[in-house]
A and B are shown apart, each in its own frame.
Chain A
């Protein structure tokens, strides 16, 4: 061990972190050598970010030890981590928008001429770092005026300014253009030549294979294995990442003969919340009586897709028609479009209103409930009781706040409201996220019934298993584009998996 230690920059041994109900990290051990790029690969929820937050002192592990240069250390705060030479670039940047690049860099570092803030030496050092690593950032520009790519450079510069010897990059390429990605890789290679170490977190196989020396794969909170990059293949890594046994059987379904186009999207473009393109020339037609599954790694335009169709997000180009009605405003009529949104607690429900009220948030103004300008609560209650019975919502009564229901029953409230009126189009966005198996089964059953009734169903999910179990057709979304389409029958995990990672179907075949 002793001769090994002088080249290991950092090692973690037996790290365990438990949150209520979730074992986020289960006895994780890994190490990162000096001058090495270690790839940390895993699906969403595999425990990557928790592990790195432990390394950076944001969380304390329940058990396990961290060694820096062979010495056992206790990292109780980010300040301690910085002192130990650890630099971290979070997936969501930790920059102060209203301060300039330079001010962000020196934030938290005592001034050389305290109490006077003398920025001149800091500016000089920052500009030197910019030149050295090829990042061009103007020190006097406020962060809010910088494009996200530059903000990424700034985060890295911030860590280098603090003499980071071990740099953790969490999904660094998510916000970068391909050119910027290349630039980042050049900088990473330079850093490792200087003997620094980099931990590169990603779920994109291609870039992990390109830049890393070794790869550690996490799944469900534990280490599946560590392989030298030279010996790794995409397929093997994908299997390690996803590799749980197939538990979901493909659902049997009657053939639907009469098919008409319901949702027609042509050349749709839309931006995400940061104003970056999220959907690019997106084309899709969904017919009545079919479930179209949208597979893809999270963050490839799924949310924007659902929001564009339902009018919640303005598209920047293209057209969307639902049964020849042009989508030009929020689709709030559940007898036309049923929309199960991605985040039921933030979007789909009002947690501090009761079950009965939540069942009518789209309809309460209709004459049925609001005769003569007054809400008829007895009618609303009757409706609620019917829904509770029909959709098996487990609640003591319709007067209970939705907050007090379990996740599965909260989702049933959303499903009941959105599907009860028999919409022509159903959009289900991550409809089973966070639900237990029984509840997942219930949602699948309901959506299949909608399809058999003749509705067009768009089923958006990052869980490939359920997309494959439920869909008549599967499209794969990658960076806001359709990467490929496969038939639901006989779809094959590795083909879809490859497309999810950005390889068009013909290339794979």
Chain B
């Protein structure tokens, strides 16, 4: 039986209006998130406007404040872009927490050893060590997903815990990395040649954010303009058609998940080499998961990751100031982060529903084809 098409040749061309809407979607979500957050602040007895003003002031009110934002954002830029590449390929690589621990261990192991090397070489060695260790770690879920079909969400989450406790064990006393006689489990301090330089005297501004932003731009270009990026987008758009077109789907999945691991490893290495200067037990404390939120907020777009990581940086750095000057609890910033992510996802969901309604005639035709038989 001939299927008749009711709708015209084409419809709803992605014009300027739609483009504006897709750009505005995260902004609408963030606005709603801040609005809901304002309600909660109001409930806790503080004027929300005053609280947000304090937050903004604490984030961009002075060069020092801005440096704090950039420092907070740097691990998020790196983990966020790693997760975002996964989203582009239709994969949920949420092992950033674990990759950060492993990257920190790798960088730490190289960084605590006094090597007769110029700092630039020692730094590069330590960064590489972090990336390689995290990459090897990420090879496990990547291999399992690509070749055995094991769900990457489950393996990466589980391995996060293993990485966390492994790190804890590594920085406890009998292990060679651990600081002898420390009051809290931590590694020995990185030697000065392995520490990242401080860019602004009197602050803790290290070049991590530059590495992060560079990575975001690089991956944006790679996704957009290279065969590798095209394969990644093909995989995310339709795995079956990708296989039909000759894409080595398994290898592509492996690579994409490995990129996430490498980025997470660099994030952990940078955090240790630029800010913490030691590997502490439990030091990541959710930054890896925040990377997932950053990537979601950016809808998987590497350039969007820059904006959303900086936004999270503002909330984190400014939140501390808000807490000090208005008495709103520190955890409130985490609540606001979560609200923003939820609203951005909700707005995106609503938008998709709207598009699906526009698509509907076609959908039902397909249904008929399935059921009429």
Number of interface residues of A (CB under 8 A): 61
Q: Given A20-B364, A332-B245, A375-B227, are A400 and B372 also a contact pair (CB < 8 Å)? A: no
Binds A, one of B236-244, B257-265, B287-295: B236-244
Cα–Cα distance between A20 and B4 once the two chains are bound (Å) = 9
B369 at the interface (CB under 8 A from A): yes
Shortest A414–chain B CB gap in Å is: 10
Contact mask for chain A residues 252-287; partner B; CB cutoff 8 A; 1 contact, 0 none: 000000000000000000000000000000000000
Determine whether the beta carbon of A352 is less than 8 Å from that of B244: no
Determine whether the beta carbon of B9 is less than 8 Å from that of A405: yes
Binds B, one of A96-104, A229-237, A361-369: A361-369
Contact mask for chain A residues 429-446; partner B; CB cutoff 8 A; 1 contact, 0 none: 000011111000000000
Cα–Cα distance between A405 and B5 once the two chains are bound (Å) = 11
Q: How large is the interface on B (under 10, 10 to 19, 20 to 34, 35 or more residues)?
A: 35 or more
Binds A, one of B10-18, B66-74, B300-308, B322-330: B10-18
| The one of B6, B11, B14, B226 that contacts A21, using a Cβ cutoff of 8 Å | B6
Q: Which residues of A contact B243 (CB under 8 A)?
A: 312, 330
Determine whether the beta carbon of B237 is less than 8 Å from that of A352: yes
A374 at the interface (CB under 8 A from B): yes
Number of A-B contacts (CB under 8 A): 141
Q: Which residues of A contact B9 (CB under 8 A)?
A: 394, 405-406, 409
Shortest B329–chain A CB gap in Å is: 43
| The one of B12, B226, B244, B371 that contacts A50, using a Cβ cutoff of 8 Å | B371
Determine whether the beta carbon of A22 is less than 8 Å from that of B227: no
Cα–Cα distance between A338 and B226 once the two chains are bound (Å) = 25
Residue on B with the closest CB to A372?
A: B226
Contact mask for chain B residues 337-373; partner A; CB cutoff 8 A; 1 contact, 0 none: 0000000000000000000000111001101110111
Determine whether the beta carbon of A374 is less than 8 Å from that of B226: yes
A46 at the interface (CB under 8 A from B): yes
Q: Which residues of A contact B4 (CB under 8 A)?
A: 21-22, 436
Q: Given A44-B373, A50-B371, A404-B12, are A373 and B5 also a contact pair (CB < 8 Å)? A: no
A48 at the interface (CB under 8 A from B): yes
Q: Given A19-B365, A19-B367, A409-B9, are A330 and B244 also a contact pair (CB < 8 Å)? A: yes
Determine whether the beta carbon of A49 is less than 8 Å from that of B5: no
* Contact residues of A: prevailing secondary structure: loop
Q: Given A350-B238, A352-B237, are A22 and B365 also a contact pair (CB < 8 Å)? A: yes
B230 at the interface (CB under 8 A from A): yes
Q: Which residues of B contact A375 (CB under 8 A)?
A: 225-227, 229-230
| The one of A53, A400, A434 that contacts B369, using a Cβ cutoff of 8 Å | A434
Q: Which residues of B contact A347 (CB under 8 A)?
A: 240-241, 244
Determine whether the beta carbon of B10 is less than 8 Å from that of A349: no
Q: Given A21-B4, A377-B225, A400-B10, are A45 and B244 also a contact pair (CB < 8 Å)? A: no
Determine whether the beta carbon of A373 is less than 8 Å from that of B226: yes
Determine whether the beta carbon of B372 is less than 8 Å from that of A404: no
Q: Which residues of B contact A22 (CB under 8 A)?
A: 1, 3-4, 365, 368, 372
B45 at the interface (CB under 8 A from A): no
A346 at the interface (CB under 8 A from B): yes
Shortest B327–chain A CB gap in Å is: 48
| The one of A43, A220, A348 that contacts B241, using a Cβ cutoff of 8 Å | A348
Cα–Cα distance between A47 and B369 once the two chains are bound (Å) = 10
Determine whether the beta carbon of B244 is less than 8 Å from that of A341: yes
Q: Which residues of A contact B361 (CB under 8 A)?
A: 20-21
Cα–Cα distance between A44 and B9 once the two chains are bound (Å) = 27
A396 at the interface (CB under 8 A from B): yes
Residue on B with the closest CB to A44?
A: B373
Taking CB atoms and an 8 Å cut-off, the chain A residues in 209-265 that contact chain B are 220-221
| The one of A45, A353, A406, A407 that contacts B237, using a Cβ cutoff of 8 Å | A353
| The one of B2, B8, B229, B237 that contacts A350, using a Cβ cutoff of 8 Å | B237
Shortest B249–chain A CB gap in Å is: 10
Cα–Cα distance between A121 and B220 once the two chains are bound (Å) = 63
A401 at the interface (CB under 8 A from B): yes
Determine whether the beta carbon of B1 is less than 8 Å from that of A361: no
Cα–Cα distance between A43 and B372 once the two chains are bound (Å) = 10
Shortest A405–chain B CB gap in Å is: 6
Cα–Cα distance between A437 and B4 once the two chains are bound (Å) = 10
Shortest A422–chain B CB gap in Å is: 18
Cα–Cα distance between A220 and B3 once the two chains are bound (Å) = 11
Determine whether the beta carbon of B244 is less than 8 Å from that of A348: yes
Shortest A181–chain B CB gap in Å is: 20
Shortest A18–chain B CB gap in Å is: 10
Q: Which residues of B contact A53 (CB under 8 A)?
A: 371
Q: Which residues of A contact B1 (CB under 8 A)?
A: 22, 43, 45-46, 220-221
Shortest B48–chain A CB gap in Å is: 40
Q: Which residues of A contact B6 (CB under 8 A)?
A: 20-21
Q: Which residues of B contact A310 (CB under 8 A)?
A: 244
Cα–Cα distance between A405 and B10 once the two chains are bound (Å) = 5
Cα–Cα distance between A395 and B9 once the two chains are bound (Å) = 8
Cα–Cα distance between A24 and B240 once the two chains are bound (Å) = 30
Q: Which 5 A-B pairs have the closest CB atoms?
A: A332-B246, A45-B1, A434-B3, A361-B245, A350-B237
- 28 residue pairs of the A-B complex, CB under 8 angstroms, read A19-B364, A20-B361, A21-B3, A21-B5, A22-B1, A22-B3, A22-B365, A45-B369, A49-B373, A59-B371, A91-B373, A221-B1, A298-B373, A339-B244, A353-B233, A362-B245, A362-B246, A370-B226, A370-B227, A373-B226, A377-B225, A395-B10, A396-B13, A406-B10, A407-B5, A408-B5, A409-B9, A433-B3
Since A21-B361, A332-B246 are in contact, a sample of 10 more A-B pairs with Cβ atoms closer than 8 Å, ordered by chain A residue number, is A45-B1, A312-B243, A347-B240, A348-B241, A350-B238, A353-B233, A362-B245, A400-B10, A406-B9, A408-B5
